[in-house]
A and B are shown apart, each in its own frame.
Chain A
């Protein structure tokens, strides 16, 4: 086989393949005819061969580079992954997310302990000794809180959804989802950031709750938070658990190398974190448009309790039929 003859013979195929590659890249190859696709796959195999031929004959690095680039591009197109479809998203929330969550539930329990234990401890301590609250949170922040919840939750005449609620909704999404995702991402730093986020949020929310209850705003506060709390607090612990998964993959890689352990468990952890992020977005909507409404507090408690039953039930039961 002679190089110049090889070039002459193969050049049209290479040109054609480059053209087909470009068309595959455009609109994900949707405009292509069936026979063009089979031509693409045939040419892809031929070019793989050509590349091997050029390499084995040492027919110049530039020629090899040229073919390498073409074959790499073809490889990228040929072994395409399934594109994200709407079905897949629905399937994820109907079954995938709760199933993966249950498979890794130990991380969730750990994260819950790191979050809820300081939360209740702080709430109890501050409730019995409110003066300690200023040791944790700045005094003016506590004062603002006190003013915010200084209303009778059963006064139907008070302004319920004030005009800035939509703005607050945006704020809740950015702030809360941001916290949750950071606590997930921080897991890769051996869990340090995750643990810090869980503990500090548990303490500061606990202090706020304990302080407000001690100041006699318990009803206004609890009727406000109970609804979205079901989503928000659970999702924070879920995202923290996902972060702990990353940390655990690095600390206890088991039979795998650390790199592989991180990849394998990271794949599940990221899905859990994504589910938690969506839960927090639901929480933000509730917090912006339901929690501050002037519905009677008894109704808010009932709805809140329903949420607190629905969320765990969803996590515990959804998609169970798929698992067998």
Chain B
């Protein structure tokens, strides 16, 4: 019944690029951490941009003959050195501090710096992590890279001091409707026994059918056959063997349709702890239906 709860409790054990934050709304948010590779690329792009802007600025200053206007010969050198100083120390602070954790390079590669509790980067954290960059960067970002390998969330020393992480923002789209349930005939009662596949199996089928487009037709059926055969044995399927053997995906779809509608009637769903209503305003009719079921 509440198999989903068990699966969730096993979740944090997974090692990987996942970083999780528990929000005040009692929801676990997960972020994909950005590794040294893509961060290096973003940094490279930022370097190119800084270098480009600096050379444009120096050409403009030289061409305009700025010194004439101010009567000070050194003003172009001074301006150039100030600009150099800004690009060395200020560029990352200003970009990240004012751009909600993104420099131009980070934006191009879909990266963002956030506080490790999931909130936006504060200006003082942007300052901290980018001043300490000097320690991370010398020599050749060696210390920073080394620290990134030693810490769990790819934090360089600046990140540790500022308690920030760098995440990859995923471009996700709402998955399309998985199975067109209306057009698939459910298995009939006399084809099968009383075995009921649990939610987990149904969810696997749902997900598999939803993503069937990433496989070619034959491979899809090959993979589906593994589960389809097993289910057919358990259900003691007495219907059309032809379909089972040649189109196991269709068979899975039929299993899904048969039990998926049953599930919502038969099995009461236990409200998990993380699904408490938080705000007073919930337009969704879910809670009332749930309580009627339970």
B135 to A188, Cβ gap below 8 A?
A: yes
**What are the residues of chain B within 8 A of A58 when measuring CB–CB?**
3-4, 7, 199-200, 203
Shortest Cβ distance from B14 into chain A, in angstroms? 12
Q: Choose the segment among A106-114, A147-155, A263-271, A308-316 that binds chain B (4+ C-beta atoms closer than 8 Å).
A: A263-271
Interface residues of A in 60-92 (CB under 8 A from B): 60-63, 65-66, 68-69, 71-73, 75-77, 79-81, 84
A266 touches which one: B120, B162, B274 (CB < 8 A)?
B162
> Would you call B103 an interface residue if the criterion is a C-beta within 8 Å of the partner chain's C-beta atoms?
no
**Is chain A's interface secondary structure helix, strand, loop, or mixed overall?**
helix
Partner-contacting stretch, out of A136-144, A162-170, A207-215, A221-229: A162-170
Could you tell me the distance in whole angstroms from the C-beta of B215 to the nearest C-beta in chain A? 15
How far, in angstroms, from A262 to B281 measured CA to CA in the complex?
A: 41
Which stretch (A49-57, A126-134, A230-238, A294-302) binds chain B? A49-57
Distance from B113 Cβ to chain A, minimum over Cβ atoms (Å): 11
A236 to B75 Cα, complex, angstroms: 26
Q: Which of A45, A72, A163, A263 contacts B281 (CB 8 A)?
A: A45
> Is B80 on the interface with A (CB-CB < 8 A)?
yes
**A259 to B165 CA separation, bound complex (whole angstroms):** 13
Given known A1-B264, A80-B120, contact A60–B27 (CB-CB < 8 A): no
Tell me whether B7 and A60 are in contact (CB under 8 A): no
Which residue of A9, A55, A69, A163 is within 8 Å of B72 (Cβ)?
A163
Are A178 and B88 in contact (CB-based, < 8 A)? Answer: yes
Which residues from chain B contact A53 at a C-beta distance below 8 Å? 275, 286
List CB contacts (< 8 Å) of B115-161 with chain A. Answer: 118-120, 122-124, 127-128, 131-135, 143, 157, 160-161
A11–B174 touching, CB < 8 Å: yes
Determine whether the beta carbon of B279 is less than 8 Å from that of A186.
Answer: no
Query: Would you call B281 and A42 a contact (CB within 8 A)?
Result: yes
- Given known contacts A62-B175, A262-B161, is B81 in contact with A56 (CB within 8 Å)? no
Q: Which chain A residues lie closer than 8 Å to B174 at the CB level? A: 11, 14, 63, 66
Please state if B134 and A267 are interface contacts (CB–CB under 8 Å): no
For residue B170, CB closer than 8 A to chain A, the reply is yes
| Docked pose: A44 CA to B30 CA in angstroms | 16
A1-28 near B? 1/0 per residue, CB < 8 Å: 1111011011100100000000001000
B73 interface hit (Cβ, 8 Å): yes
In the complex, the answer to whether A79 meets B282 with C-beta atoms within 8 Å is no
Contact A55 B8 (CB under 8 A): yes
Complex interface bits, B154-195 against A, C-beta within 8 A gives 1, otherwise 0: 000100111100000110111101100100000000000000
Residues of B within 8 A of A171 (CB): 77-78, 81
Query: CA separation between A45 and B23, bound complex, in Å?
Result: 11
Nearest chain A CB to B284 CB, angstrom units: 7
* CB closest chain-B residue, reference A246: B161
A173 touches B85 (CB 8 A): yes
Q: Which residue of B lies closest to A72 (CB)?
A: B29
Measured in the bound complex, the distance between the Cα atoms of B286 and A42 in whole Å is: 16
Most-contacted residue by chain B among A6, A11, A79 (CB, 10 A): A79
Residues in B with CB closer than 8 Å to A288 are: 78
The answer to whether the Cβ of B289 comes within 8 Å of any Cβ in the partner chain is yes
- Asked if A267 and B124 sit within 8 Å, CB to CB, the answer is yes
Q: Is residue A219 within 8 Å, beta carbon to beta carbon, of the partner chain?
A: no
- Report Cα–Cα, A51/B29, bound state, in Å: 9
Q: Which of B120, B203, B260, B281 contacts A60 (CB 8 A)?
A: B203
A46 on interface, CB distance cutoff 8 Å: yes
**A244 proximal to B (CB < 8 A):** no
Q: Which residues of chain B are within 8 angstroms of A51 by Cβ–Cβ distance?
A: 27
For the complex, is B239 an interface residue (Cβ under 8 Å from A)?
A: no
Say whether A193 faces chain B, with CB atoms less than 8 Å apart. Answer: yes
Of residues 262 to 307 in A, which have CB atoms within 8 Å of B's CB atoms? 262-263, 266-267, 270-271, 273-274, 288
Q: Does B40 sit at the interface, judged by CB under 8 A?
A: no
Q: Is there contact, CB below 8 Å, between B178 and A42?
A: no
- By a CB distance below 8 angstroms, the chain A residues around B282 are 45-46, 49
A167 pairs with B175, CB closer than 8 A: no
Decide yes or no whether A119 CB sits under 8 A from chain B: no
Whether the Cβ atoms of A167 and B277 lie closer than 8 Å is no
* Contact in complex: A56, B134 (CB < 8 Å): no
A183 to chain B, nearest CB (A): 10
CB-nearest residue of chain B relative to A77?
B120
| Smallest CB gap from B76: residue in A | A167
Contact status of A57 and B74, CB under 8 A, knowing A45-B279, A46-B282, A271-B124: no
> Contact: A174 with B124, CB < 8 Å?
no
Instruction: Report the bound CA distance from A79 to B174 in whole Å.
Output: 25
Distance of A165 from chain B, by nearest CB (Å): 6
Beyond the given A45-B25, A81-B120, A173-B85, could you list 18 further A-B residue pairs with CB under 8 A, ordered by the A residue number?
A14-B174, A42-B279, A49-B25, A55-B274, A58-B4, A68-B30, A76-B100, A79-B120, A166-B74, A166-B75, A167-B75, A168-B74, A168-B78, A170-B80, A185-B134, A186-B134, A267-B124, A273-B131
Chain A residues packing against B (C-beta within 8 Å): 1-4, 6-7, 9-11, 14, 25, 42, 44-46, 48-49, 51-53, 55-63, 65-66, 68-69, 71-73, 75-77, 79-81, 84, 163-171, 173-174, 177-178, 181-182, 184-189, 193, 246, 259, 262-263, 266-267, 270-271, 273-274, 288
20 pairs of residues in contact across A and B, judged by CB atoms under 8 Å? A46-B283, A49-B275, A49-B277, A52-B26, A52-B275, A55-B4, A56-B8, A57-B199, A58-B7, A60-B203, A72-B29, A72-B30, A75-B29, A76-B119, A169-B74, A174-B88, A185-B132, A185-B134, A187-B135, A259-B160
Q: What 4 A-B pairs come out closest when comparing CB atoms?
A: A167-B74, A170-B81, A170-B78, A167-B77
